[in-house]
Amino acid sequence: MLKQRLQQKLLQKLSPQQIQLMKLLQLPTLLLEQRIKEEIEENPALEEGVDDEFEDFDDSDDNNEADEFDSDDFDKDFDEPEIDPDNEFDISDYIEDDEIPNYKLSANNASSDDEHKEIPMSSSFSFQEYLLSQLGLRDLDEDESVVAQHIIGNIDDAGYLQRDIHSLIDDLAFSLNVKTSFKEVLGLLRVIQEFDPPGVGARDLQECLLLQIKRKQPRTTSIENATLMLEKNFNDFTRKHYDKIQKKHSLSDQEFKEAIDEILKLNPKPGNTLNESGYSAQYVIPDFIVSSGLGDLELSLNSRNAPELRISRTYSEMLENMASQKNKSGAREKEALMFVKQKLDGAKWFIDAIKQRQNTLLSTMEAILNFQREYFLTGDETKIKPMILKDIADIVDLDISTISRVANSKYVQTPYGTFLLKTLFSESLQNEEGEEVSTREVKKILQDCISAESKIKPLTDDQLTKILKTKGYNIARRTVAKYREQLNIPVARLRKELI
């Protein structure tokens, strides 16, 4: 049974302006530039440049007539508007060729004797194209060529074949209507595995390393021992059970070390040797710049975070003219007026959001700078205080989610390097003296201990726990293992090296 009733609810919702601010706040500098360019392309009322006369533009004060026009006239039904024939849209106004030709507005001051220098553009083959070029040098019939091209198409950028042979046979039958056998596909795969770079077309790491070591010439004793180890003891080698391998093959320390050295020279991802040359260098653009001088710290915001934007003067004058001629307006003019108002409002909201973003970034970074002042003055990571998002949120009187948006994607440039802002946040633990210290401090000590250890006999987690306890940090072994994993440091067995 359907019922109608009147109910009041108190809901908390974000306005479109707040949503826009939150989205802008979490963008790093590089993405902010792209977002501003997109907004300028979408909103013709927004321009780049210093806004002098129209910086404080506010259509609520200067265009009261337009607001009154909206409230009085836009409540009417415009399904069948009365259009004045004299004021109808005339397309001839837009196609009249009364403008000055472009060639009269341009000047050419160059002569035939001038030297023209162009920036060279780099071009390179993709990894698959490089393999296909080698395939063309082989004497294959049409069907074999199709199968070989399909195999190459399933080789990833690292140089590994991502599909098993049975799946390749099914793919060829269903997609290309080519019937083949396991023996034929395997034979063509062996042909591709002879291509450069060595190791390409392997189905796993063991096969990749074997393809490379078998092509090494001349065949020395160390290479033969390395080949034997990869064929017979690959799992023990990956787990660094060196004593077991050496005892099984009756190798001396010198022979075993030479064989291991030959394996370490191999490339586990042969395809990357070609791809890395085509990658462009990626640079980190800092959002904040912290400099120290005369014992004090100076904080500045990257200029790219403070773009110069203004409201288009053409659009603001257009709105004034439309509002002054409201008595002569028809339905199309009213739609145009609404369009101009929406674009001006959008431009004003965007500029305000950018300014508010700058203020939020500066206030948050100033609070972090004062909280970690000792670290920014010395650069010593052991001086980092325990700091969580709530600590900074209480100082700047903002929500924790806002601080998280600022910290997660922003970089700060200091005299000691450029790093992600969120790395300054850490939990706390107590030492033997009852003082709260940052987990970052414990990780730094842990990393220093591992860096100074003997690689012949690395320190175990139990030994690291005892070392930390002697330094006053009473933490459990499982906590040491957790910090070690967070630092991307493997267990002691995998850190072992042959000297």
pLDDT single digits (tens) 11-26: 777 777 778 778 888 8
- The answer to whether residue 56 scores a pLDDT higher than 50 is no
pLDDT band of residue 499 (cuts 50, 70, 90) is low
Q: Report helix, strand and coil shares of the chain as percent, to nearest 5.
A: 55, 10, 40
CA 236, CA 246: separation in Å to the nearest integer? 11
Q: What is the DSSP-derived secondary structure letter of residue 415?
A: T
Q: What is each CA distance from 100 to 94, 104, 131, in whole angstroms?
A: 15, 7, 56
Range with the poorest average pLDDT among 156-165, 321-330, 441-450? 321-330
Q: What is the pLDDT of residue 71?
A: 39
HSE-CB of 224 using CA atoms within 13 angstroms: 6
Tokens of 31: 């993405």
For residue 11, which phi and psi values (nearest 5 degrees)? Answer: -115, 150
Q: What is the pLDDT of residue 74?
A: 37
Token pair 């940090």 in the structure block, residue: 473
Q: What is the pTM of this model?
A: 0.57
% of the chain residues with pLDDT over 70: 80
CA 37, CA 305: separation in Å to the nearest integer? 13
- The answer to whether residue 284 scores a pLDDT higher than 70 is yes
Contacts 24+ apart (CB under 8 A), 142-147: 143/178, 143/180, 144/184, 144/188, 146/172, 146/176, 146/178, 147/172, 147/178, 147/180, 147/184, 147/185, 147/188
Q: pLDDT tens digits, residue range 117-146?
A: 554 544 556 788 889 999 988 888 888 999
Nearest to 160 by CA among 205, 191, 211, 130: 205
- The answer to whether residue 106 scores a pLDDT higher than 80 is no
| Parallel, antiparallel or unpaired: strands 288-293 and 411-414 | parallel
Q: pLDDT tens digits, residue range 441-487?
A: 888 889 889 998 888 888 999 999 999 888 888 888 898 898 899 88
Higher pLDDT, 499 or 387: 387
CA 164, CA 186: separation in Å to the nearest integer? 10
Tokens of 395: 């100082």
Average model confidence (pLDDT) across the chain: 79
Residue type, 362: L
CA 467, CA 453: separation in Å to the nearest integer? 12
pLDDT band of residue 88 (cuts 50, 70, 90) is very low
The predicted model gives 366-383 an average pLDDT of 87
Range with the poorest average pLDDT among 170-174, 241-245, 278-282? 278-282
Q: pLDDT tens digits, residue range 398-426?
A: 889 889 888 888 899 988 888 888 888 88
CA 95, CA 89: separation in Å to the nearest integer? 13
CA 130, CA 126: separation in Å to the nearest integer? 6
Instruction: Tell me if 111 sits within 8 A of 372, measured CB to CB.
Output: no
Q: What is the DSSP-derived secondary structure letter of residue 295?
A: T
CA 34, CA 178: separation in Å to the nearest integer? 47
User: Which residue stretches of 179-326 are H helix?
Assistant: 182-192, 205-213, 221-232, 234-238, 242-249, 253-264, 272-275, 313-324
